[in-house]
Chain A
Amino acid sequence: QQQVRQSPQSLTVWEGETAILNCSYENSAFDYFPWYQQFPGEGPALLISILSVSDKKEDGRFTIFFNKREKKLSLHIADSQPGDSATYFCAASPYGNEKITFGAGTKLTIKP
């Protein structure tokens, strides 16, 4: 049972465009949603996160939109740069629980 789902599996956008990565979850107990960025040969690194009490979180070019009722969220990367090319993992954990459940990832490619 996959508790965190991501789409698309892979995404290619042109430099300067906005990339939109989607995520949905099943467990209503999840209330912390970090997004991780992973480059080949590296471990995942926290990019941006949101708590379920919020519906939007911005950090520079990165924005999370969160819809608790539909159990969906999305990561928007504005003004995409070739250096943003990486795999992005949506993840989730319940309140007070240290276990993070990852989605399968979206491989993002930015074409110059």
Chain B
Amino acid sequence: GPKVLQIPSHQIIDMGQMVTLNCDPVSNHLYFYWYKQILGQQMEFLVNFYNGKVMEKSKLFKDQFSVERPDGSYFTLKIQPTALEDSAVYFCASSLGGRSTEVFFGKGTRLTVV
């Protein structure tokens, strides 16, 4: 089936440094998402992105977070600067959009801030 690829699978970074998480969504999909999951717990919505713009973001999407998808390239989540509480697994997802279309998730990037 369609695959969402996330690079890298694991990233360790010093607190205060910048990190960029990369996502290669399903090729014809139009909507892109980032979710945060701590220790196999609840998936928390961070942001969704469509037509080059953030559509909606949650309270977890702090000012230090930003997303972009330059033409045809990766959909990225940048955190600058990182904090200890940013340690989590970040899942990228994509969908065609529209009523009840399937959202496909990647395998996640485990971010460890030390």
Q: Which residues of A contact B (CB under 8 A)?
A: 32, 34, 36, 40-46, 49, 51, 87, 89, 91, 95-105
Q: Smallest Cβ distance from B102 to chain A, in angstroms?
A: 5
Name the A residues within 8 Å of B28 (CB-CB).
none
CA gap between A32 and B106 in the complex, in Å: 21
Contact B105 A87 (CB under 8 A): no
Contact B43 A46 (CB under 8 A): no
Number of residues from B at the complex interface, CB < 8 A: 27
Q: Judge whether B62 is part of the interface by a CB distance below 8 angstroms.
A: no
Name the A residues within 8 Å of B35 (CB-CB).
102
The majority secondary structure among interface residues of chain B is strand
Q: Which residues of B contact A (CB under 8 A)?
A: 4, 31, 33, 35, 40-45, 48, 50, 55-56, 91, 93, 95, 97, 99-100, 102-108
Q: Smallest Cβ distance from A19 to chain B, in angstroms?
A: 19
Contact A99 B40 (CB under 8 A): no
Contact B45 A101 (CB under 8 A): yes
Contact A98 B42 (CB under 8 A): no
Contact B95 A98 (CB under 8 A): yes
Name the B residues within 8 Å of A105 (CB-CB).
40-42
